[in-house]
Amino acid sequence: MPRLVVVSNRIADPRKTAAGGLAVALAEVLNNTGGMWFGWSGKVIEPSAGGKAGEGEVHTQQAGAVKLVTVDLAREDYDAYYVGYSNGVLWPVFHYRLDLADFDAGYIGGYRRVNQLFARKLAPLLQPDDVIWVHDYHLIPLAAELRALGCQQRIGYFLHIPLPPPLILAAIPGHDWLVRGLCSYDLVGFQSEADHQHFCRYIQSEAGAQDVGGGRWRVFNRTVHAGAYPIGIDVDEFAAVTQAPEAREMYERMRREYSRRKLLVGVDRLDYSKGLPHRLKAFRELLQKYPETHKSATLIQIASPSREDVSAYSDILHELESLCGSINGNFGELDWMPVRYMHRTVARARLPGLYRASRVALVTPLRDGMNLVAKEFVAAQDPEDPGVLVLSRFAGAAEQLKEALLVNPYDKEGTAGAIQVALQMPLEERRQRHQALLANCKRFDVHWWCDTFLDTLRTAQAEESGTPWL
Ligand code: ADQ
């Protein structure tokens, strides 16, 4: 089997158990092929320490059969590529938030510069029959940069976040360059069929692409495959973690502490796409409309710190703190606080215990590529007495997890009503819904995602060999 080379902004050391499902799944394939994982080292070099735009030292280490290669970034590159363009333009626009995008012309230059730097450092390490898999919005132009250096290998790309409809995408100055970059891959994968359709519509209307069947398009004088490859979790591994001592201890503690109350849980990165203020307003609506929930329901909301150097993120933090404070102030009693909010990360080993002890999970993003918390919650439940998933219809996961209670997070009355239905749901219905959800998570798990994407990529270019690039 050809060697796999994975490229992503950040890499995870596959030997560390805290790495999580995606890292573990990729590491498994990388191990099997003696592969390489390439990305940013996480180090930012200040100008005073010699950090120069477009340059960066390369570090290599061996992790079992896998070679880990990372590059440092100069301060100027980090600010433009990571903070400015990736998280200040692509992240908000791809999540339909044009109002939050900062189209400062300098950022796109830094974004391109870092992609060129990655290509320059990666190209000499490649072997002719390598298969390259590039991940996420930070690295859209990487294939085009590699091709410009003469790399002929198969290169696939997976977008972990949503792709918006053509007219929203077209608001980005340089959108045509970005999409041309996407079309330089042999296979482009999206989280959902909706995102895939947005791509197809864009290349048809803006670039005159021809549908040549089998998920393939003729565009920019070459053939590109595109499709939906919804990411999953490692259900078996997650179930095993649920039974391990740390998760069990967490579960027992939560069950003891909330023995007379139903627990609702939210676990997110603190990000405006996750709909946290909307969720809290829906919870407040629940308390207002259904007084029986007083003292009988508690929401635990965990929001891990994220991208604190991007200003939209500090705004959401303050809004959230003030909403939690006002809900507790208005509804709290001496022996009951409606919301327990924590601005931190929970250890991965304990998370399943918290999920399992909760009667309801609130996964209500305004827009989300997939949302793995929804799948983790399902995998952690006791099938005999499972909790209920309240899921935003705007999460990619909603295309698969149809037996969840699907809500519109912008509709606080509707969401509050669904939470009440979840709290009241009879055991038999909970079991039936959970059984169907779990079957879906098992069938489309992270191994299915990896295998299906890579199988398609391995055959994609073979059919097209000899096709000139651009
Ligand atoms: P994220 O936006 O980071 O990822 P998500 O899928 O919800 O989103 O979560 C990723 C992981 O982080 C999960 O394993 C979750 O358990 C963990 N996590 C989140 N908050 C945590 C907290 N407070 N404490 C501890 N752990 C926490 C992007 C896209 C998603 C897509 C993933 C994978 O935005 O839509 O599902 O990539 O493709």
Task: Give ipTM to 2 decimals.
Answer: 0.98
Q: Measure the CA dihedral 245/246/251/257, to 10°.
A: 120
Strand order in the sheet with 405-407: 339-342, 297-304, 262-269, 360-363, 388-392, 405-407
pLDDT of 23 reads: 73
pLDDT at 20: 55
How is residue 19 written in tokens? 């790495």
**How far, in Å, from the CA of 371 to the mean position of ligand 1?**
6
Edge-to-edge strands of the sheet including 4-10? Answer: 58-63, 66-74, 36-45, 4-10, 131-135, 154-158, 187-190, 222-228, 216-219, 210-213
Asked whether this chain's domains 4-232+448-459 and 235-443 adopt the same fold, the reply is yes
Q: Find the residues whose C-beta lies inside 6 A of ligand 1.
A: 20, 160-161, 231, 267-269, 302-304, 345-346, 351, 368-373, 376
pLDDT in the model for residue 17: 52
Nearest CA to ligand 1 atom 37: 160
* Sign of the Cα pseudo-torsion (102, 103, 108, 110, in order): negative
Going from the Cα of 373 to the center of ligand 1, the distance in angstroms, rounded, reads: 6
Ligand 1 atom closest to Cα of residue 368 = 35
Q: How many CB atoms lie within 10 A of CB 208?
A: 10
CA of 370 to the centre of ligand 1 (A): 9
Separation of alpha carbons 275 and 296, rounded Å: 24
Ligand 1 centroid – CA 260 distance (Å): 30
Intervals of the chain under pLDDT 70: 14-21, 24, 461-470
Q: Which of 446, 376, 400 is nearest to 192 (CA)?
A: 400
Residue nearest to atom 15 of ligand 1 (CA): 373
CATH code for the part of the protein at 235-443: 3.40.50.2000
Residues 6+ apart with CB under 8 A from 392: 275, 363, 364, 365, 366, 368, 371, 398, 406, 407, 408, 409
Q: Count CA within 13 A, CB hemisphere, residue 434.
A: 25
Residue-level pLDDT at 467: 44
Pocket test for ligand 1, best of 316, 355, 373, 401 (most atoms within 8 A of CB): 373
Which of 320, 344, 372, 389 most suits a substitution to test ligand 1, by most atoms within 8 Å of the C-beta?
372
Q: Which one-letter DSSP state was computed for residue 467?
A: P
- Exposure string for 335-358, b = 16+ CB within 10 A, e = fewer: eeebbebeeeeeebbbbbbbbbbb
Q: What would the CATH number be for the domain defined by 4-232+448-459?
A: 3.40.50.2000
Q: What is the pLDDT of residue 28?
A: 77
Q: From ligand 1's centre to the CA of 231, what distance in Å?
A: 12
Measured CA to CA, the distance from residue 32 to residue 12 in angstroms comes to 17
**Which residue has a Cα nearest atom 38 of ligand 1?**
160
Longest dimension (CA), the chain: 73
Distance of alpha carbon 197 from alpha carbon 159, whole angstroms: 14
pLDDT of residue 175: 97
Q: Which of 299, 294, 421 is nearest to 358 (CA)?
A: 299
Atom nearest to 22 CA in ligand 1: 33
pTM of the model: 0.96
pLDDT computed for residue 29 by the predictor: 82
Q: Which atom of ligand 1 is nearest to the CA of 20?
A: 14
Atom of ligand 1 nearest to the CA of 351: 25
Structure tokens at 230: 């919804």
Q: What is the CA radius of gyration of the chain?
A: 23
Give residue limits of the domains in the chain: 4-232+448-459, 235-443
Q: What is the pLDDT of residue 424?
A: 97
Mutational pocket test of ligand 1: of 354, 371, 376, the residue with most ligand atoms within 8 Å of the beta carbon: 371
Residues acting as catalytic residues: 160, 368
